[in-house]
Structure 1
């Protein structure tokens, strides 16, 4: 857990690809009865990107900058906070930098903590800004999960959608805006429950016999992930709220979770005793957008007016690893 740090979210932006994929279209493709995929996955529609994650992320970044009333000349560092890069090297932030073409050689680097990438980047940015190292930080999460899915296995594939979200972060400048507490934990007994084995040195092409595509696709043991998450999340949340100043869940205006799955969101709502008006849920019309999921939900809360200046919010999620992360934020 970490001490409070002054931080203000100056602007956010989120985008989805132009290509809509309804669950009924997947029903038809797989020869299933209409409504089967939505019933199994909880997703009505997701979006599929045919370009690059850097291109999609640049769209979200421009929206966030416009909302903040800033331009790229004001940005001190660009953090790419995604789980599915366009390529192993260079970092996706460099490719995003190329798309954005800032007027000066602003540094750009990645944070990859799977679905928790945005939360980790937010935590790091809060430290950098509170310490005076940077004034304006642009965090961009952009994920294209659709290219690595086996659509015949709906348990691992039917829940995902592509998307991007961004936030411009800056100093609080006399306001109450702050990261009140942040915490992360990893339980590596779940390290292989959610993975893409290929793409790195462990399974490099010259070390693999047979089709490389078999190990380049996403694999998930959803049941194992869920069991680990429900075991560790409740005590994690209790500790985080205590660290933030003994905040009680009923007193939080909003809980903004990673949009992992309809089962996960339902369990979270029930286990934490959340009111319907407390939890931000955009899952049915987006699917799980990996690292872009949580900042997309954050943007939706801000854009709709559900999260207002001075409000407290709990940002919470899980990711491959298995890792858990959370931030208590005064917006």
Structure 2
């Protein structure tokens, strides 16, 4: 039974459930190399990725989110929550939001449910939003999901993006608890810079292009990313936000047991660790198995680390991400004793 918030200090949002799901179709580097001018060695050397999962025809983001959400609820031992917050850049439709459909499929019709769009920082934005609802007293339990099907928006013939992204979903359940409890989410350091909007984008499909009579080009209809600039800003912003989160937690960098960053690129994660003086063996790497899964990457990495023994109760954990917008964020928490479904 959770300790009452009054016995554990100020009211806080506490992680009490964790779930993950990947679509069954696994695509390794050799399969991509059979249709794109690339190779397994080229992909692994530049990204660290060996394989990733793609949705099958007729499998939208809502399916991924529902599967991960159901597993997180099972992990928490709950069949109901007060709200559902879904972070995604690949909603089933431009309108309406996908979260209400996910909530309905989970038997949560009538509960508030909404999407958050912050690309690869989406999970942290959703986590911060849900935590605020709990600490304000507006909710006792909230399901937070990160889910993306980036294979549906990248150009399958564009080597620089087609080899990087994968599809999947991860989720956590938050409950009201005390700030001193294991699992209590610390202050989430968030930021954004709209002047960098073109670094990570799908230009077509919104009002910007639909308000004109000019049909979008193939490039504008698909995801694009300015790789070198993204690398610089990702390392700078993730390291800065993580440093703030570590200080807010009252820790020193050497006391961090696990850095769980957005799984974009192994070189980015290692560079962030170097700036923070966190050894590589404390950096969780999951992208080699799933690629860049955008908003799903942090909860997927957490679930994998816990299920394989790389993350345990009492570990001091920093979560950090950078994404389109540009957006970034980080937070810190002591990992709780829970099971992965």
Structure-1-length-normalised TM-score: 0.90
Give yes or no for contact 1:41–1:155 (8 Å, CA) kept in 2.
Answer: no
Q: Given the superposition, is the C-alpha separation of residues 59 and 233 from structure 1 closer, same or farther in structure 2, using an over 3 Å criterion?
A: closer
Deviation at 1:34, TM superposition (A): 5.3
Give yes or no for contact 2:146–2:295 (8 Å, CA) kept in 1.
Answer: yes
Q: Which residue of the other structure, out of 55, 71, 76, is the alignment partner of 1:49?
A: 55
Q: Would you say 1:330 and 2:338 are equivalent positions?
A: no
Deviation at 1:66, TM superposition (A): 0.8
Aligned to 1:266: 270
Deviation at 1:92, TM superposition (A): 1.1
Deviation at 1:297, TM superposition (A): 0.9
Equivalent-residue separation in structure 2 for 1:328 and 1:158 (angstroms): 31
Q: Which residue of the other structure, out of 125, 137, 144, is the alignment partner of 1:139?
A: 144
Aligned to 1:285: 289
Unaligned runs of 5+ in 1: none
Partner SS, residue 171 of structure 1: strand
Q: Given the superposition, is the C-alpha separation of residues 284 and 176 from structure 1 closer, same or farther in structure 2, using an over 3 Å criterion?
A: closer
Aligned to 2:75: 67
Partner SS, residue 254 of structure 2: helix
Q: Would you say 1:105 and 2:110 are equivalent positions?
A: yes
Equivalent-residue separation in structure 2 for 1:291 and 1:186 (angstroms): 16
Cα shift readout 1:120-148 (whole Å, capped 9, x = no counterpart): 11112222212221111011111000011
Equivalent-residue separation in structure 1 for 2:277 and 2:203 (angstroms): 37
Aligned to 2:339: none
Give yes or no for contact 2:237–2:322 (8 Å, CA) kept in 1.
Answer: no
Listed as ranges, the matches of 1:207-246 within 5 Å are 207-211=212-216, 213-245=218-250
Equivalent-residue separation in structure 1 for 2:40 and 2:88 (angstroms): 33
Give yes or no for contact 2:231–2:268 (8 Å, CA) kept in 1.
Answer: yes
Q: Would you say 1:295 and 2:295 are equivalent positions?
A: no
Q: Given the superposition, is the C-alpha separation of residues 316 and 211 from structure 1 closer, same or farther in structure 2, using an over 3 Å criterion?
A: closer
Q: Given the superposition, is the C-alpha separation of residues 179 and 98 from structure 1 closer, same or farther in structure 2, using an over 3 Å criterion?
A: closer
Task: Give structure 1 regions of 4+ aligned residues with deviation exceeding 6 angstroms.
Answer: none
Structure-2-length-normalised TM-score: 0.88
Partner SS, residue 267 of structure 2: helix
Give yes or no for contact 2:266–2:285 (8 Å, CA) kept in 1.
Answer: no
How many pairs were matched up? 324
Greater shift, 281-290 or 24-33, is seen at 24-33
Listed as ranges, the matches of 1:1-331 within 5 Å are 6-33=12-39, 35-50=41-56, 51-71=59-79, 74-102=80-108, 104-172=109-177, 175-204=181-210, 207-211=212-216, 213-245=218-250, 247-331=251-335
